[in-house]
A and B are shown apart, each in its own frame.
Chain A
């Protein structure tokens, strides 16, 4: 494609199958104690 550069392809849907294990960090626990931000967290599920 010449006119479109994709930064990230569709990934969210795939996570419905193997996600939800809950091993990742709670989102308010670290550097933001007054707001909810999950976008910058990383998944800790090795099987995903």
Chain B
């Protein structure tokens, strides 16, 4: 299978099964489009009036060369590979610790419902946290690198426990031959020098939540008294970011209210941030800020606009990284990883303040997905196995999607919330995902063009 598209003056051809990507001229582009269901004679006949016979001859030769090298029209042989998916032994390698189901902001789209996750307000005790880390160590098999994200609500509302859990994790690394990679996601309200110093010593990454331009941020991210949070938070984030040597992300959410979100990304860049992520909101379609199908044309155009500016700034030496435009074409993940996806429910679990396990942070509070707890381990193996079977080829929509090895089958939580099953795909999300991949590859082509 191939996927071809034109973007920003580049003709791009992706060979999906091999992972090859080519930039081609117009002749090759048109010939490839006809290649699979036309004979050479037919292609010659159709294109000669446009390009001349010699050009087409040459194009066809080059196409053949790529086919011979297994870089074009390659067969997908991976379907075989996943028949063993259920048998594969999975180990747990990442936890999302909900150390505080409480928050000092009242963001309108918060899937945690101001930190409460359809439940009560609560802070994780040190004891529950330690049990969770013990569980991770014991259930991670031979894996050395273990990831723990401190999440909320707002994790800084339970800062002492965070610090003690980091110390506890470190104290067990040597005896267990494990390495913890701690990260934290914060809204910044409580950030101070002590916290920043600690994070700079101990946290491999920090994710700083902010939505963009002041009016955009303050509309969706107010304090509980309704006041905006931008002014309080931005200076702290700027200071923090500067001290992190690139190991951070400023992360925002765009909604129906700011479909011109490229301006928010660029606003971050203008504030001096160079590690940026802004994602579409995921919400019930009934919410006034929900992204609707009719918003798509504008959103897709916005990604294009951002991509062009992104290239321009990179070439001028004032570039930044946008999470969804980053793609590792040569040393990216192996096929196994690309097929398996996010690992929610198997490799990755979320832990509530009172120690319950859920497949991931987006399932917390959905009772039918309760998997077990830190004391008894995984008891609901039925749901766990459902997640284990979740892979690109288990999803009808993904099986023939050109994006499957980049997107790895999308988000199980989105699929569940829109279609009531984890093996479907959230269609609006797919359109955006595919656009981001096209932009990311075009950017590679444009930057390669430079040298």
Query: What residues of chain A have their CB less than 8 Å away from a CB belonging to chain B?
Result: 1-13, 15-16, 18-20, 22-45, 48
For B334, what are the chain A residues with a Cβ–Cβ distance below 8 Å? 15-16, 18-20, 43, 45, 48
Partner of A7, one of B25, B347, B362, B444: B444
CA of A40 to CA of B406, assembled, Å: 8
For B33, what are the chain A residues with a Cβ–Cβ distance below 8 Å? none
For A35, what are the chain B residues with a Cβ–Cβ distance below 8 Å? 279-280, 410-411, 414, 429, 433
Do the beta carbons of A10 and B207 come within 8 Å of each other?
no
Q: Count of chain B residues with Cβ under 8 Å from any Cβ of A? A: 90
For A22, what are the chain B residues with a Cβ–Cβ distance below 8 Å? 91, 93, 143, 337, 347
Closest 9 CB pairs of A and B: A19-B334, A39-B406, A20-B336, A10-B18, A15-B334, A12-B19, A31-B249, A31-B277, A8-B329
For B411, what are the chain A residues with a Cβ–Cβ distance below 8 Å? 28, 34-36
Name the residue of chain A whose CB is nearest to the CB of B412: A36
Q: Is the interface of A mostly helix, strand, loop or mixed?
A: loop
Q: How many A-B residue pairs have CB under 8 A?
A: 220
Within 8 A of A (CB), among B355-399: 360-362
**B441 at interface by CB-CB < 8 Å:** yes
Do the beta carbons of B323 and A36 come within 8 Å of each other?
no
A29 with B279, Cβ < 8 A, contacts A8-B330, A23-B144, A39-B437 known: no
Do the beta carbons of A31 and B74 come within 8 Å of each other?
no
Partner of A1, one of B65, B282, B331: B65
Do the beta carbons of A39 and B405 come within 8 Å of each other?
yes
Within 8 A of A (CB), among B306-323: 323
Do the beta carbons of B21 and A40 come within 8 Å of each other?
no
Q: What are 17 A-to-B residue pairs whose CB atoms are below 8 Å?
A: A1-B65, A6-B71, A7-B22, A7-B23, A11-B18, A16-B335, A22-B91, A24-B337, A32-B251, A32-B323, A33-B251, A35-B279, A35-B433, A36-B411, A37-B324, A39-B327, A45-B334
Q: Is the interface of B mostly helix, strand, loop or mixed?
A: mixed
A40 with B70, Cβ < 8 A, contacts A15-B335, A28-B342 known: no
CA of A39 to CA of B181, assembled, Å: 21
CA of A12 to CA of B75, assembled, Å: 12
**B96 at interface by CB-CB < 8 Å:** yes
CA of A33 to CA of B151, assembled, Å: 10
CA of A14 to CA of B235, assembled, Å: 47
For B130, what are the chain A residues with a Cβ–Cβ distance below 8 Å? none
B215 → A minimal CB distance (Å): 23
Name the residue of chain B whose CB is nearest to the CB of A30: B205
**B409 at interface by CB-CB < 8 Å:** yes
Do the beta carbons of B324 and A40 come within 8 Å of each other?
yes
CA of A8 to CA of B149, assembled, Å: 33
CA of A4 to CA of B336, assembled, Å: 29
Name the residue of chain A whose CB is nearest to the CB of B324: A37
CA of A15 to CA of B335, assembled, Å: 6
Do the beta carbons of A20 and B406 come within 8 Å of each other?
no
Do the beta carbons of B27 and A3 come within 8 Å of each other?
yes
CA of A22 to CA of B59, assembled, Å: 41
**B420 at interface by CB-CB < 8 Å:** no
